[in-house]
Structure 1
Amino acid sequence: MLKILKSIVAVSMGVVALQACSKEELVDLYPEFSLDALSNPSSMKQVEEVLGGAYAGFRNANYYSSGSGTGAGWAIMPDVMSDNLYEAIETLANSRAMADWIYQPNTGQVTSLYSAPYGVIANANIVLRDVGKFTTTENQLLANRIKGQAYAIRAMAHFDLFRYFAYKYDRNSTTDLALAYSTQLILTPGVKPARLPNKQYYDSLFADLSAAVTLLSNIDKPINAESGLIRPYIDLPAVYALQARIYLYAGMWSEAVTAATNAINARPLVNLSQSAFSGMYNQTNRGEIIWNIQFESGQSGPSFLAYFATNGRSYFRPALEIATGDSTSGLIQKGDIRYAAFFTKENDGRLALTKYKGKSGLSDGAANFPVFRTGEMYLIRAEARARNSQEALALDDLNALRAARISGYVPAVGLTGNLLLEAIANERRRELVAEGHRFFDLKRTTRSIVRGSTCGNTAVSPAGDCTLSPTDREWALPIPESVRNANENADQNPDYN
């Protein structure tokens, strides 16, 4: 891990020019700071620039960005690894090890997924280490704004690692292993942290988020511009959204309801508006964005794992159970504003996943990624309520979301028990296609992956494994071989030894 971390920090500390744009409207594409920030920051401004480096880390090609048939680890990859997307004939086979669950400790993409969040964590830890050196009575609210974001960023990256590499999500387990929780930048080769049990790891996540809420509740100015088309920084509603997501995984239903409600109150639903909903993906409308990762021209956004935007080539396509070219079957059909926002029908009648094709009609793949938006919060609240004996309220949330998406929707009535939970799960599948959830949703609810009609049909898709049972080892990625070679305390996940 230390070798990986050293290379991450070295790259992120390169000195490059800032873009000529306001931080109120755009994350710095190439934050300007130097290696001096590691040991000798000169000002609060330089500390804030290191924070910009943490945000830049989310644009890593293996985090929310992508390469040609690779990457997008927390954007599109969870759909590739589940049942939402199938590998198309046009594939480059660059992500077949992930799609077919044949990854091993020496698989390159596994190592990349492990290392990408640590670059973000390293920068967040530098900020938290140095911000106090320049905090005064006069700039305390500025310090709160910087420090609060750093705590939230650190929690976000650690949670994303947990989703892939923890083999169980049990919040109270003192035996199931999560990962080490990094709270300071340490480059000393002799430091070899052990993996924490789930309970201790969750406690660390919640402590960081509690600190973020306290700090971001008292700041010098808004973190995101109060108007505009984007929200590229983590503000208080985004922290609430992250809390809601983690509480859902932890099975803390009342807390999930409260956090999701806080986020919803700050960012209301779009009311059946195609332009507002599609605008979240092509940067023509803020819609329900709570926090987005910003990509600009020349940067590779999420699209290129599944759809090569510049030449219209699909490596992975929507499963027929999600949507079809005639829009009359599958979960997303005609009359649902998600259909036009997410897919394009090609000349052969097949669908392409084009939600990240580009901005304002462009086809360069430089589309923003919506990490948190209001639709997810409704579904978190609905599921938490359904699992906490509040089924009528859960159904209200489900109906409210569907009414905001489907023209002429007739509210469902009488759904209870497993039928209600299944309806919510299906709505998550509709609402969050290629937004980093499906594999983890199936994992946290201990369900099998059963791929649909395209799986095994070699005329449509390369042959591959079509099912993954809840007991299979592949639900947790293996700890990379390079990490274990450097740190014997990094225990391997079950059945990979």
Structure 2
Amino acid sequence: MKKYNKILLLIMVGVILSCSESFLEVSPQNAVSDSDAITNVEDVETSVTGVYDEISGAYYYGRYMFLIPDVMADDVKQNEQANRIVDYAEHIQSVSDAQANALWTGMYFANNALNNIINADITVPDASQDTYNHLLGEAYALRGLVYFDLVKFFAQHYTYTDDASHLGVPLILTFDPTYEPERNTVAEVYEQIISDMTTAISLMSDTSRTGNSSTLSSTAVKALLSRVYLYMEDWENAEAMATDVINAGYSLVTNENYLTLWSQDNSSESIFEISMTETDNQGGNSIAGMYVEDGYGDYLPSNDVVSLYDADDARMQVFKEDAFLQGDYAPYRVDKYPNVLGYDNTKVIRLAEMYLNRAEARAQIGTNITGAQDDLDMVRQRGLPTAPDVTATGTDLIDEILFERRLELAFEGQRLWDLMRYKQDIVRTQCTASICYIPYGDNTNILPIPQDETDVNPNITQNPGWN
């Protein structure tokens, strides 16, 4: 029987296996057309919308994009009855893990759909050219985002080797059902991410098609690119991208209204978020369902992180006391995703992060320390207006910025990547898992290439530590 690469086989049959509770099936009304079926701008728009729908799934931004890296780090602890993705919290994930398989195959499915849009050969009327360019830009940007997420999950971070020559993920930019790809280096993957996102910026308008943050604008792509450059330690470009976004007219939600960030869609601070409507959401399988009392409630905020907030900090509002939690599991639940039915949009990137990205870049460059301090003050004093102005410099300033990132971006899927970027160990001082210390660079800090892939693709190399 002829073997096909699993990525491509799934693309051909149009089915993605997902989490252990259920599977995601791309139904005909949501299926993304192949490149031959994309014949006009309306087809392109339908296809791009299909990709947004796809990445909202529970295997991706609907749940696991944030939850998996958080349970692998130190801000989240297992509840006593936790029975979802426990292997990640315990750092004993395996090559047969369903969630790793769902992430791998689902993201490559989205990648292929985006390739079909990018590679489609259509004639565009002059009157529709700007619309088409923006849609094409969205496709490029989303492909860049998919590869950025893939390489974070399945490879060590960019500076793990001096030249990022360690293995990343396969770059597949065209459809070939006989292709059995090797893994590209991390450097090559990041080069493609930057190429896709900069191409997107050149094609897109400063405002989104929908007039809100639920679809991408060129400014939103700059925000994503700021994060990419930050992870590469390309401080100058990270600062430049963040500055463009900060100057684009977004505004931080006020201290008094901080909690509305999580219960309201398309706030003044939101740059890009994944739409979760009442008819298109993950229900109890959403990220909210993993945290809130009325859902599965599998995961809780660790005392490690809760203890870092000042009692008067507005961000303490994302913790909700639960009298039924006892002992090491008491007393809080995460309330950053309050709607148990998953109706709240998933915030992918927002203005507070841009200030923190720019602060970190400026502190690392070292020529605008006052600017770095001011950026840090913007975020810290929004949360706690009584906080004194930042005066730290040098490594102390960088430490304070990383501390603030932990407070501001908690439960948004970034803590693990920040620890990896700064080559720090995972230390769980308030620990309900069987493992409380995971050293920097450990094999279990990334995901194995799924066995379904290695079984059918002789050219794919497994990550170290798995057979």
Of 316, 320, 340 in structure 2, the residue corresponding to residue 344 of structure 1 is: 320
- Partners in 2 of 1:168 and 1:336 — Cα distance? 32
Q: How far is the alpha carbon of 1:32 from its aligned partner?
A: 3.6
1:153 aligns with 2:142: yes
CA contact (8 A) 2:320 2:332 kept: yes
2:429 aligns with 452
CA contact (8 A) 2:151 2:186 kept: no
- Partners in 2 of 1:447 and 1:266 — Cα distance? 34
1:224 aligns with 210
Judged with a 3 Å threshold, the aligned counterparts in structure 2 of structure 1 residues 433 and 5 are, in CA distance, closer, same or farther, namely farther
- Partners in 1 of 2:69 and 2:383 — Cα distance? 23
- Partners in 2 of 1:34 and 1:248 — Cα distance? 34
2:102 aligns with 112
1:213 aligns with 2:204: no
CA contact (8 A) 1:172 1:198 kept: no
Map 1:70-469 to 2 at 5 A: 72-91=63-82, 93-130=83-120, 132-170=121-159, 173=163, 175-186=165-176, 188=177, 190-217=178-205, 222-225=208-211, 230-270=212-252, 272-275=254-257, 277-283=258-264, 286-297=267-278, 299-300=281-282, 302-304=286-288, 306-308=290-292, 311=294, 313-323=296-306, 330-340=307-317, 342-348=318-324, 350-358=331-339, 363-389=340-366, 390-413=368-391, 415-453=392-430, 455=431, 461=432, 463-469=433-439
TM-score, normalised by the number of residues in structure 1: 0.84
CA RMSD of aligned residues (A): 2.4
1:69 aligns with none
Deviation track 1:419-438 (CA, whole Å, cap 9, x = no partner) reads: 21111111111111111101
Aligned residues: 445
User: Which stretch of the first structure deviates more once superposed, 370-379 or 56-65?
Assistant: 56-65
CA contact (8 A) 1:308 1:365 kept: no
- Partners in 2 of 1:198 and 1:270 — Cα distance? 34
- Partners in 1 of 2:27 and 2:277 — Cα distance? 11
Q: How far is the alpha carbon of 1:152 from its aligned partner?
A: 0.2
Deviation track 1:282-322 (CA, whole Å, cap 9, x = no partner) reads: 1266130001001122522642463256x255211111122
Deviation track 1:242-265 (CA, whole Å, cap 9, x = no partner) reads: 110000011100000000111111
1:55 aligns with 2:52: yes
Aligned to 2:273, what secondary structure does the other structure show? Answer: strand
User: Unaligned 5+ residue runs, structure 1?
Assistant: 14-28, 66-71, 324-329, 456-460
CA contact (8 A) 2:115 2:175 kept: yes
Deviation track 1:327-365 (CA, whole Å, cap 9, x = no partner) reads: xxx12233222221x22112346111121122xxxx423
Judged with a 3 Å threshold, the aligned counterparts in structure 2 of structure 1 residues 50 and 388 are, in CA distance, closer, same or farther, namely same
CA contact (8 A) 1:267 1:290 kept: no
User: Which stretch of the first structure deviates more once superposed, 438-447 or 103-112?
Assistant: 103-112
Larger fraction in helix: 2
Percent sequence identity over aligned pairs: 28
CA contact (8 A) 2:38 2:117 kept: no
- Partners in 2 of 1:60 and 1:312 — Cα distance? 17
Map 1:14-33 to 2 at 5 A: 32=29
Q: How far is the alpha carbon of 1:6 from its aligned partner?
A: 3.6
- Partners in 2 of 1:213 and 1:194 — Cα distance? 29
CA contact (8 A) 2:289 2:341 kept: no
Aligned to 1:496, what secondary structure does the other structure show? Answer: coil
Q: How far is the alpha carbon of 1:12 from its aligned partner?
A: 7.2
Deviation track 1:166-222 (CA, whole Å, cap 9, x = no partner) reads: 124138726311111221233x1x21111112222221111111110100148xx74
TM-score, normalised by the number of residues in structure 2: 0.89
Q: How far is the alpha carbon of 1:56 from its aligned partner?
A: 0.9
User: Unaligned 5+ residue runs, structure 2?
Assistant: 17-25, 325-329
